Amino acid sequence: MTKTERTYLDWNATAPLLPAARDAFVAALDMVGNPSSVHGEGRALRMLVEAARRDVAVLVNAAPANVIFTSGATEAANLVLTPNYRMGRTPLAIGHLYASEIEHPAIREGGRFARENVTTIPVTRAGVVDFDALETLLHNHDEATGLPMVAVMLANNETGIVQPVKAVAEIVRRHGGLLVVDAVQAVGRVPVDIEALDADFLILTSHKLGGPKGAGALVSRGEVLMPVPLIRGGGQEKGHRSGTENPAALAGFGAAARSATEEPAARNSRIAGLRDALEKGMRAATNDVVIHGAEVERVANTSFFSLPGLKSETGQIAFDLEGIALSAGSACSSGKVGQSHVLTAMGFDAALGGLRVSLGPGSTEADVERFLAAFSRVVSRRRAA
């Protein structure tokens, strides 16, 4: 391998920019004006923003009017995770947030809820929400404080495990609560339909789909029940998120959303084949590799594994020196590499952590072969140490 040859296997952190998204982004940069202006230039940009809104809505079977654009998933999470809501013009209190133990840090931090008003929902050793625990938590919820809110991700960013969100929704409905679903890692990989999931809100972001960074969305089920705005100002996004929209980033987001709806079954079947070959090769190289979540439903592109005696940080550096870009989990923690809260929640000894390989539409058999060759060398050095 030459020093410049690299293999990118970190699509869950960010997907390479799609050509269609790049073209849409660059074309929008050449357009002058403000999408809130009423002159021709402004109206042209408004049409571009609204076209992107329609594309994102189609991706999750939502009404375009229910798509609120943000700067990304973290902002969308902080917008929706608040005790302060309105039902039309009437204030509505949300008393407590219940978030699964395996949520992304953007959710685990609780948004605008006070820390004492955030409770974690346990998961099973298989990494799936514990239904009995959720039922108990909601049964014991103090209704005098306001409605309960439950946050459960559709696909885990580390393990790729798909959560039974529809079943979670049934429990939440019985207790009159709201359901927020982080669909960031799910869109384009499994069907995401806000109506079928029975979710009140979905969180999305552009760069996981192959769109530009700096664009995301909060998608609501309707227009009546909405959170009090996080960013106030000029009243853009129907007053839900003030600030001049970023037409270039949104144009790229829309293009990426359109691409995600094109033959997803065939695309994901091919990616699943690559992932399965990768895991088969790891097991052939060593019998002590642990692949987390392999016994339950996962998105097709993700493999999260541990090797006894290999720390996450050491492993990540070792693979990087081999020319392989992979991750130790979430990439949204300022470069920190530490214990996996997901493995801890699943009941594993997370002291050593795990490593995540994530594939995408551009991944190839050659990428898998290069990874497995590097994996064998890392395993051999670990044994010799």
Provide the annotated active-site residues. 332
DSSP for 212-280, written as a single string: -SS-EEEEES-SSEEEPPSS-SS-TGGGTS-S---HHHHHHHHHHHHHHTSSHHHHHHHHHHHHHHHHH
**DSSP 8-state symbol, 331:** S
Contact residues for 315 (Cβ-Cβ < 8 A; gap 6+): 307, 328, 355, 378
- Bridge partners, residue 201, by sequence: 180, 220
The residue assigned the tokens 């987390």 is: 292
Residue pair 276/37 in contact by the 8 Å Cβ criterion:
no
Indicate the helix (H) or strand (E) that contains 53.
helix 40-59
- Alpha-carbon distance of 379 to 356, in angstroms, equals 16
Would you tell me how many other CB atoms lie within 10 Å of the CB of residue 377?
A: 15
- Alpha-carbon distance of 288 to 241, in angstroms, equals 49
The residue assigned the tokens 């202006």 is: 37
Residue pair 168/179 in contact by the 8 Å Cβ criterion:
yes
- Alpha-carbon distance of 364 to 241, in angstroms, equals 40
Encoding tokens for residue 196? 């079928």
The residue length of the chain stands at: 385
- Alpha-carbon distance of 162 to 146, in angstroms, equals 29
- Alpha-carbon distance of 112 to 176, in angstroms, equals 21
